[in-house]
Amino acid sequence: MKTDRFQHPDHYLIDELLTEEHKLIRDSVREWVKRELSPIIEDYAQRAEFPRHILRGLGEIGAFGPSLPAEYGCGGLDQISYGLIMQELERCDSGIRSTASVQGSLVMFPIYAYGSEEQKRRFLPKLAGGELMGCFGLTEPDFGSNPGGMITNYRDRGNHYVLNGAKMWISNAPFADIAIVWAKNEEGRIHGLIVERGMEGFTTPETHNKWSLRASATGELVFDDVKVPKANLLPGVSGLKGPMSCLDSARYGIAWGAVGAAMDCYDSALNYARERIQFDKPIAAFQLTQKKLAEMVTEITKAQLMNWRLGVLKNEGRATTAQISMAKRNNVEIALRIAREARQIHGGMGITGEYPIMRHMMNLESVVTYEGTHDIHLLITGMDITGIAAFR
Amino acid sequence: MNIMVCLSQVPDTTTRIVFTADGKSLDKSGVQFIINPYDELALTKALELNEALGSGSVTVVHVGRADSESNLRKAMAIGADKAIRVDADATDSIQVARELKAVATKGNYDLILCGRESIDYNGGVVGGLLAELLGLPLINIMTSMSSNGKDAEVSFDVDGGRAFAQVSHPFVATCQKELTEPRIPNMRGIMMARTKPLEVVSAETDSGPTQVSRFDLPPAKSGCRFVDPADMDQLVTLLHEQSKVI
């Protein structure tokens, strides 16, 4: 792997819209990524292994729940800071960003938003530091885009609940210490439970042979009469809005992260096009290469502006689910297209591990599907503008 | 220990250097300035020394204008307790050293650390000038240091080798690469930096005695030319007639 000399494109001087602290956070995470992650990521992806030794470092740089309050050991930063951290992590690898997204948005956020004070004090500081890791169980083998149909359920047995069912496609599952599991009670209402590793009947088999997110650990959550203490129920929410609000937060992070992956592909393609000589001149001198590069930077610029505006709305508490859907869908799509075009510019070299392109491209094939598929997000926009849901 | 770290900012190492139309100064438009990497080592070493002793304070001191404050904030995010900015354009080494001396004499510092040089003008003399102005010993191009707060064990580069010495505080040292690894600000540090004091003090003088007449860029590198190893005559001819080095 070559030395990581990434520089982000800023065609519209969007840096001027950021505060000095935003830039310090972004540059610090980028520096950390270049020092700690870039030299190893290709190797871990090739071996399909998650680099667990980086978890404490991720905690220190603020990757886990940075926008949650400082009183729980978190960063107390704004939503743009959170977005920039996700952008820098995914600039390196979507799998690493996934780990951070899950921990921050899908584990820490519901504990913060819907947990008891005792649950917040017990779990949040350790999750923020990477001492404890979590995962999020919503998707089931037969219920992906339609999570409301879930089968996983728990029953009240007096002084505890008994949980049964299975979840799949769960990032962080193989090593997570806790799982936020969404399950139905006797009345069919969805609630969140904190399931802890070591509880009898709870297993987390790993999903092998992935061609995507290879540097991220994915698995299943299997519950076979798991006794869950009543103190582990998230008391503050009931119904599908619980998990959906978590996904809003995670999808917002993905919208920023995908731009990170896109910028990495563009930066690599631009440098390669300047250096690669064919017919006695750099391939950047050919119109077809310039077309590709110019379209890439145009799409990146639009996505950067979209993220910034969404961040401002989120800071003001005004970002809607539909707005977040649009950004997630658009930015992942342009990232995928940019990865494919960048691969072409790199020629044959683009398929090797010498360059990050193919790894990003394969990762993004997961990102375009998870956290709401590409098509479902389009239908969310459709519902938003017509008032009619086309997916029910 | 009460440690002062002298900190300058320099153009990012990836900057394409362009001068203003009159050739007298760097065209700063679009240039990103970073903490001089050797000064970053000095800062990290200062933090490590105090961590080993269990207490102390680190003050970063900079001669420059308000546009450098983001780097001073970064220094405090890395761990400095306080920053002092001397409000002046840094024009030459002796001016910077005099301004640093003015701050140092008010601070009762046990140790003053500088980078071995800044990576823009590469003068490498501010540390030495400062030591002289303060009448303190100088450890130049320091490669290692440990201290009990009163006396320090140090090593430093000398021509063709390395020297090892003991020195009593206070003293001035300039920091070399292998002294330590620079730290990256973490989230806690960034949050704490928000409330740390950044003091701005007036300069003693407006500018230094040196004035630049003109900067020239080095001549562009010519391409590499291959010569058949069997044809030594051609090599000699090229070196003699074209490169004019023999």
pLDDT above 70 (res A17): yes
The answer to whether A31 is a known catalytic residue is no
Q: Give pLDDT, residue B75.
A: 98
Average pLDDT over residues A110-139: 97
The pLDDT tens digits for B51-86 are 999 999 999 999 999 999 999 999 999 999 999 999
CA distance, residue B150 to nearest chain A CA (Å): 33
- A71 at the B interface (CB within 8 A)? no
Q: Which of B14, B187, B192 to mutate to test the interface with A (most CBs of A within 10 A)?
A: B187
Least confident of A191-205, A327-341, B208-222: B208-222
Instruction: Spell out which residues of chain B touch residue A66, defining contact as CB-CB under 8 Å.
Output: 187
| B190: nearest CB among A5, A28, A32 | A28
CATH for the stretch B2-213: 3.40.50.620
Tokens of B240: 């003699």
Instruction: Spell out which residues of chain B touch residue A62, defining contact as CB-CB under 8 Å.
Output: 186-187, 190
CA distance, residue A77 to nearest chain B CA (Å): 8
pLDDT above 90 (res A58): yes
- A11 at the B interface (CB within 8 A)? no
Share of chain B above pLDDT 70, in %: 100
Confidence of residue B245 (pLDDT cuts 50, 70, 90): confident
pLDDT above 60 (res B210): yes
Average pLDDT over residues B32-46: 96
| Distance, CA of B106 to CA of A241 (rounded, Å) | 61
Instruction: Spell out which residues of chain A touch residue B195, defining contact as CB-CB under 8 Å.
Output: none
Cross-chain Cβ contact A21/B194 below 8 Å: yes
pLDDT above 90 (res A296): yes
User: In terms of DSSP H, where are the helices of A130-230?
Assistant: none
Give chain A's count of helices (H) and strands (E). Answer: 12, 9
Average pLDDT over residues A130-145: 95
Cross-chain Cβ contact B194/A76 below 8 Å: no
Amino acid (one-letter) located at A321:
T
| Distance, CA of A216 to CA of A50 (rounded, Å) | 5
Do residues A257 and A101 touch, judged by C-beta distance below 8 A?
A: yes
- DSSP annotation of B143 reads E
Per DSSP, the residues of B184-222 read PP-HHHHHHHTTS-EEEEE-SSSS-S-------PPPPPP
Q: Which residues contact A221 (CB under 8 A, 6 or more apart)?
A: A135, A137, A166, A167, A168, A170, A173, A179, A181, A195, A202, A203, A204
The pLDDT tens digits for A149-158 are 999 999 999 9
pLDDT above 60 (res A308): yes
- B70 at the A interface (CB within 8 A)? yes
Instruction: Spell out which residues of chain A touch residue B188, defining contact as CB-CB under 8 Å.
Output: 60
Confidence of residue A1 (pLDDT cuts 50, 70, 90): low
Closest residue in chain A to residue B194, using alpha carbons only: A21
Confidence of residue A85 (pLDDT cuts 50, 70, 90): very high
The pLDDT tens digits for B119-156 are 988 999 999 999 999 999 999 999 999 999 999 999 99
Q: Give pLDDT, residue B15.
A: 81
Q: HSE, CB side, 13 Å, CA atoms: give it for residue A206.
A: 13
Higher pLDDT, B12 or A46: A46
pLDDT above 80 (res B221): no
| B186: nearest CB among A61, A70, A76 | A61
Cross-chain Cβ contact A28/B77 below 8 Å: yes
Q: Which of A23, A27, A86 to mutate to test the interface with B (most CBs of B within 10 A)?
A: A27
pLDDT above 60 (res B39): yes
Higher pLDDT, B231 or A199: A199
The pLDDT tens digits for A363-373 are 999 999 999 99
- A7 at the B interface (CB within 8 A)? yes
User: In terms of DSSP H, where are the helices of A52-186?
Assistant: 55-61, 79-92, 94-101, 109-114, 117-129
| A24: nearest CB among B14, B74, B188 | B74
- B32 at the A interface (CB within 8 A)? no
Share of chain B above pLDDT 90, in %: 76
